[in-house]
Structure 1
Amino acid sequence: MEKHQPALDIHEVPAAGKWLTLSLQHLFAMFGATILVPFLTGLSPAVALVSSGFGTLAYLLITRGKVPAYLGSSFAFIYPIIEVSKTSGAAGAMVGSFLTGLVYGAVALLITVFGTKWLMNLLPPIVVGPVIIVIGLGLASTAVDMAMYLPGQEENVYSSVHLTTALVTLGLTVIASIFFKGFFSLLPILFGIVGGYIFALFQGIVDTTAIQAEWQALTSADSVTGFLGAFFQVPDFIVPFVDFSPWEVISWEIALLMVPFALVTITEHTGDQMVLSKVVGRNFLKNPGLDKSILGDGAATMIASCLGGPPNTTYGENIGVLAITRVYSVFVIGGAAVIAVIFGFIGMVTAVIGSVPSAVMGGVSILLFGIIASSGLRMLIDNQIDFGEKRNLIIASIILVLGVGGAFVQVTEEVQIAGMALSAVIGVFLHQVLPGKEKGYGNGKMFEEPEVEEKKEQHEVA
């Protein structure tokens, strides 16, 4: 990889005007994907923004300001949140997210004590790749239903207007992904949502009631205090011990549905750290260490669970911003986090997000969920997994069929291990018991430390 001098290094502070602009870039890069997750899971997009901001600040603190990474809503947890919410509501999903955060902490502790070899032994590419494919394909019906059917109906009612809107949104997102250059190439989701929203307005399927109410409240305010009270609004937080008692909600079913997904997201996190290391030119797996970054990821997820937001994870979109701009300053990342928190408290922002039609989100989701599945396939290709080996073929096939087919094991009357979680557990088990384990690692590069040219610390103010 070609080495570039950073425009702003990790600990450099930009001038005020430039600082705001650079932070807004990161906010826009993560915005579309971060609000999509709560939209699909029934959580509050405003809370997701706030929790992503606080989670990112916690991550920067835990990694001692050495890793310029932004954290947003994790797509891997869409399915388990939806499933847990069906039986235990949003409170159950928050309990499950908190337990997932604890798993991150336990893994970080094990890495501190034993290193990373045990993690690779548990999560080889032949297991993680197919599980990621299952996550994407398992959500496919959700995207298609949102694109094709009228929302809020007891039975599916086909709508050509909604399907057309979804396809226009999808088309705009694809065009942005292929033809946009530079920083704008990182905003295809946001471009697709905005373009699809405008098209939906002309189709008459956008409910602007909440927007009009917010505007009316702002324009009718007769004082500065009244205006600020209408402008800033507290999001719909779901706080443990205030809105619900975790002890009354927690169950083995919730744990078995959500915790196994931590195995996949931890692997994705490791991959992000490797890419980020190559982009910035520092080995973040060594300094501050993979244990610190995983702990930061887990802390961000636990913070989100205490506010009512979805689990957080490092965002590839924002790593792309770093690669293009060569602005690696953690102060810029922190600025984006603060702005995200502020946005979450602005009532008009919440009203606009809430008015986005499901067809628009369905159109974007068709591409996003497909990309998730394709990224699992890419992991298998990049690691050169040989499917001529019967062992690899058997493990991948069983994971795919059990996960996509929706198989489950009824542990007790109330507890079951279902779908994706079951496929992940069985995949890990098969890798441990079948002979020829070395064949499941391919070229063995998934957990190799990245080769980077270490840079000297700079503390100059831009």
Structure 2
Amino acid sequence: MNETVLDVQDKPKAGQWISLSLQHMFAMFGATILVPTLVNLSPAIALLTSGIATLIFILITQFKVPAYLGSSFAFILPITIATESGGIGSAMIGAMFVSLVYAIVSLIIWKTGYQWLMRLLPPIVVGPVIIVIGLALSGTAVDMAMNIPVPGVPGAKEYSLIHFSAALVTLFTAIICTIYFKNIISLMPVLIGIIVGYAYSAAVGIINFAPIAKAKWIAVPDFLIPGVDYSFQVTPTLLFVMVPIAIVTISEHIGHQLVLGKVVERNYIKDPGLHRSILGDGLGTFISSLIGGPPKTTYGENIGVLAITRVYSIYVIIGAAVFAIFFSFAGKLMAAIATIPTAVLGGISILLFGIIASSGLRMLVDNNINFGDKRNLVIASVILVIGIGGAKIEFSETFQIEGMALAAIIGVLLNLVLPGRNKNEIDDGTK
């Protein structure tokens, strides 16, 4: 059994503290800035809010849970849909309502326990919904990798071999880092892939460096404050686009808490309690959306760093959060991020969106879901086709439920009403 280097409450020495915290920041960096880039939000705000959300989470969980909160990929498509229908402000308001769901779930867990949640969101529902999230975004990733806008023709795109080559370089770099490296490099394939893809793009001349030269060294992130920077209207469609995704993200949160607990040899479902960690996640999302950042989730990359280094110190995670806040004001760095070619982002998205889909499949395999059981086959089949096919229920021009959200809702309902429901609960580490 590997010996712990620094336990949760151990404080590292100054030099060690800085290096370990930077390591955690870079582990989450690539994925955290990718999400806002894909949905036209500010990467600087994403970094700033990831740091703030992490500090809030640590405070709510009584300085017991060494988890880092970054941008959630589950909300990429809902944010895009909400933005198209009502502007970016609608997406931010939708994220606030998601955080309200977190708060309500947290309150119920506090009063009644958490087993009802395990039964409501079994793997046969959550797994296919996660697959839908990844595959529904696959067309976007491929389009970003291959196509570029046609000059002078709004909305038109054309195939570009040179841009696709940049996407492939990015993709294969990330794959090599993931497969052939077993140390800390294997936990940062997104960041390293983007860096190598960016270097290749610069070499083939598809990057405009002018914005970097014009940028200030220190710059305040672009905040989005409700009632100041945007007006909004809360509609039923907005709520049904964003809120049902909490089904997935809460399940993801529980999974991360279970894995993290095994890594650091603690039961976080019991102490400080699932209600506290879910509330911390929800408050992080609320504060993030309040100032223009994407919804937050605990990051598997940082759990991986903990497992490899065996450094579980909460102070190291706090240091990473402080560094993220500091970096968000680095104007030159944020300008450089803005010049990353769409093809590079598309290349890394091919891998990331595929991994999201595959993680849903893995959940089904890990939980020994039997597809010889017609009930399981029906639930998974309906969720996949409705979610990927883009089905929708339209009540009026301002009220419709579609795609991923509709698939998640129908999946939960089918699990509740079909006979033969599996009573087995997710292993919470207490058995």
**TM bucket, shorter chain:** over 0.9
Could you tell me whether the CA contact under 8 Å between 2:235 and 2:398 is conserved in 1? Answer: no
Q: Deviations over 1:352-374 (max 9, x none)?
A: 11010000010000000000000
* Structure 1 partner of 2:199: 198
Q: Deviations over 1:186-208 (max 9, x none)?
A: 11111100000000001111121
**Structure 1 position 114, deviation (Å):** 1.3
- Structure 1: stretches of 5+ with no match in the other structure: 215-229, 453-462
1:405 pairs, out of 367, 389, 407, with 389
Matched, 1:114 2:100: no
**Structure 1 position 60, deviation (Å):** 0.4
Q: Deviations over 1:109-140 (max 9, x none)?
A: 11111111211221111110000000000000
Matched, 1:360 2:344: yes
Q: Deviations over 1:316-367 (max 9, x none)?
A: 0000000011111111101100110111111011111101000001000000
**Structure 1 position 58, deviation (Å):** 0.3
SS of the aligned residue for 1:194 comes to helix
Matched, 1:236 2:237: no
* Structure 1 partner of 2:252: 268
- What is the CA–CA distance in structure 2 between the aligned matches of 1:131 and 1:273, rounded to whole Å? 20
- What is the CA–CA distance in structure 2 between the aligned matches of 1:413 and 1:18, rounded to whole Å? 57
- What is the CA–CA distance in structure 2 between the aligned matches of 1:364 and 1:101, rounded to whole Å? 28
Q: Which amino acid aligns with 1:397?
A: S
Q: Deviations over 1:138-174 (max 9, x none)?
A: 0000100000101475112111111111111111110
Q: Which amino acid aligns with 2:28?
A: M
Q: TM-score, normalised by structure 2?
A: 0.97
* Structure 2 partner of 1:344: 328
Q: Which amino acid aligns with 2:119?
A: N
Matches within 5 A, 1:55-454: 55-151=53-149, 154-214=155-215, 230-245=216-231, 248-438=232-422, 444=424, 447-450=426-429
Q: Deviations over 1:37-91 (max 9, x none)?
A: 0011110000000000000000000001000000000000000000001121111
- What is the CA–CA distance in structure 2 between the aligned matches of 1:344 and 1:367, rounded to whole Å? 26
* Structure 2 partner of 1:457: none
* Structure 2 partner of 1:7: 5
Could you tell me whether the CA contact under 8 Å between 2:146 and 2:343 is conserved in 1? Answer: yes
- What is the CA–CA distance in structure 2 between the aligned matches of 1:296 and 1:411, rounded to whole Å? 35
Percent sequence identity over aligned pairs:
56
Could you tell me whether the CA contact under 8 Å between 1:23 and 1:335 is conserved in 2? Answer: yes
**Structure 1 position 231, deviation (Å):** 2.1
- What is the CA–CA distance in structure 1 between the aligned matches of 2:234 and 2:229, rounded to whole Å? 14
Q: Which amino acid aligns with 2:175?
A: V
- Structure 2: stretches of 5+ with no match in the other structure: none
Q: Which amino acid aligns with 2:21?
A: S
**Structure 1 position 451, deviation (Å):** 5.7
Could you tell me whether the CA contact under 8 Å between 1:278 and 1:451 is conserved in 2? Answer: no
- What is the CA–CA distance in structure 2 between the aligned matches of 1:151 and 1:14, rounded to whole Å? 50
Q: Deviations over 1:227-255 (max 9, x none)?
A: xxx4211111101232234xx42221111
After TM superposition, what 4+ stretches of structure 1 lie above 6 angstroms from structure 2? none
- What is the CA–CA distance in structure 1 between the aligned matches of 2:24 and 2:359, rounded to whole Å? 23
- What is the CA–CA distance in structure 2 between the aligned matches of 1:381 and 1:184, rounded to whole Å? 27
- What is the CA–CA distance in structure 2 between the aligned matches of 1:436 and 1:126, rounded to whole Å? 13
Size of the alignment, in residue pairs?
Answer: 428
